[in-house]
């Protein structure tokens, strides 16, 4: 049975994609009978993740090239949207938008506008201006630390969608004060997965599984002889165990978890997933798994639902279509967890 492990975000080890029915190296194509499809799998480091792709198609020679085109598309998105690369268009926005509106290309403008929509719809639980908080808590290029009250207050003054001024006519982005910045790390990986999926569909790839470090995965079709791709969700407490398996077909799964990057201080564990409204790491949930129609949507919603928790997510979830959420909630009395499964109406 086709399977892939899903872990929290991209700090985890590479998630291998494998099929029990065939064993191939990363650059070999093997014939699959009787469907007359060929199989290829490969991986590449991009966007601080190991992107992994497993694909089936009718052309043995073209299949590896198409998969490489998919990786090239991920690299392009990274060059466009990285806030770590000083020469990226997003970094230019972060440097200059407080001084004057910055014109960007339509793709980046539309993507940021879409991300701001998730910020509005989630009442600020998902927020791409969270960068100053990540820096204050030491999670930007670091392992985390507790900031002083003054540091936290200063960072909070820079967070919130109201600081971002979008002009759809001129496609410009401005900030209302110095120090505001955009961090697309919580949603860009899912967008890159969607872009690869779109490319594969145009190139008539029959079935594929596209994974951004195991944190966001999109399934096109199903492997030969199967109803879907079986995705294994990692136990949020013991990474050696599997907590949940789901079947994925023409759908995305995204995972947000506290175990990816966290630190402990004063007996409290602080996760890298911020509640932008309080300025502190979100508490009360171990991990969240979202099934959605796209990787972009799942990538935004898993953070939002992680911040909101099961009960406060109810109204937001019921405004969505075809969305499922699994909340992994700690059980203090046992040291384990329980799964709260919710489906949009």
Q: How far apart are CA 235 and CA 93, in angstroms?
A: 38
**pTM attached to this predicted model:** 0.89
Mean pLDDT of 154-164: 96
Give the chain as a 3 state SS string. Answer: CCEEEECCCCCCCCCCEEECCECCCCCCCEEECCCCEEEEEEEEEECCEEEEEEEEECCCCHHHHHHHHHHHHHHHHHHHHCCCCCCCHHHHHHHHCCCCCEECCHHHHHHHHHHHHHHHHCCCCCCCCCHHHHHHCCCCCCCCCCCCHHHHHHHHCCCCHHHEEEECCCCEEEECCCCCCCCCCCCHHHHHHHHHHHHHHHCCCCEEEEEECCCEEEEECCCCCCCCEEEEEECCCCCCCEEEEEEECCEEEEEEECCCCEEEECCEEEECCEECCCCEECCCCCEEEEEECCHHHHHHHHHHHHHHHHHHCHHHHHCCCCCEEEEEEEECCCCEEEEEEEECC
User: 199-239, pLDDT tens digit by residue?
Assistant: 999 999 999 999 999 999 999 999 999 999 999 999 999 98
Tell me, letter by letter, the H, E, C secondary structure of 78-97. HHHHCCCCCCCHHHHHHHHC
Peptide bond before residue 296 is cis, with ω within 30 degrees of 0: no
Closest CA to 290 of 342, 249, 329: 342
pLDDT > 70: percent of the chain = 89
Map out the domains of the chain as residue ranges: 89-175
> What mean pLDDT is reported for the chain?
89
187: pLDDT strictly greater than 60: yes
Residue range 336-341: mean pLDDT, rounded: 95
Q: Give me the mean pLDDT over the 125-138 stretch.
A: 94
The residue length of the chain stands at 345
Supply the pLDDT for residue 259. 66
Q: For strand 172-175 and strand 164-167, is the pairing parallel, antiparallel, or unpaired?
A: antiparallel
Give the CATH number of domain 89-175; options: 1.10.1660.10, 1.10.3980.10, 3.40.1190.20, 3.20.19.10: 1.10.3980.10
**pLDDT in the model for residue 144:** 86
């Amino acid at each position: 049975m086709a399977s892939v492990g899903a872990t929290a975000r991209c700090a985890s080890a590479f998630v291998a994609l494998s099929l029990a029915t065939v064993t191939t190296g990363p650059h070999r194509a093997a014939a699959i009978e009787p469907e007359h499809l060929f199989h290829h799998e490969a991986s590449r480091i991009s966007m601080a993740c190991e992107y992994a792709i497993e694909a089936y198609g009718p052309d043995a020679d073209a299949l590896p090239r198409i998969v490489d085109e998919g990786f090239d598309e991920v690299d392009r998105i990274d060059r466009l949207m990285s806030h770590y690369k000083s020469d990226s268009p997003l970094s230019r926005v972060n440097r200059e938008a407080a001084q004057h509106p910055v014109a960007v290309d339509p793709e980046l403008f539309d993507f940021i506008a879409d991300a701001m929509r998730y910020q509005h719809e989630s009442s600020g639980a998902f927020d791409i201006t969270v960068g100053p908080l990540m820096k204050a808590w030491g999670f930007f290029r670091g392992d985390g630390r507790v900031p002083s009250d003054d540091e936290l207050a200063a960072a909070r003054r820079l967070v919130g969608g109201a600081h971002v001024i979008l002009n759809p006519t001129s496609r410009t982005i401005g900030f209302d004060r110095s120090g505001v910045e955009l961090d697309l790390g919580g949603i860009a990986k899912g967008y890159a997965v969607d872009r690869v999926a779109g490319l594969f569909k145009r190139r008539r790839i029959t079935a594929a599984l596209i994974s951004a470090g195991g944190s966001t995965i999109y399934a096109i079709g199903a492997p030969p002889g199967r109803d879907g791709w079986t995705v294994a969700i990692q136990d949020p407490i013991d990474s050696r165990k599997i907590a949940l398996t789901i079947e994925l077909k023409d759908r995305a799964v995204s995972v947000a978890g506290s175990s990816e990057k966290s630190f402990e201080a004063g007996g409290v564990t602080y996760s890298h997933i911020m509640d932008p409204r309080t300025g502190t790491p979100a508490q009360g949930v171990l991990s969240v798994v979202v099934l959605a129609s796209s990787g972009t949507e799942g990538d935004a919603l898993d953070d939002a639902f992680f911040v909101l928790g099961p009960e406060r997510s109810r109204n937001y979830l019921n405004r969505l279509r075809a969305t499922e959420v699994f909340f992994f909630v700690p059980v203090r009395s046992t040291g384990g967890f329980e799964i709260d499964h919710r489906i949009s109406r």
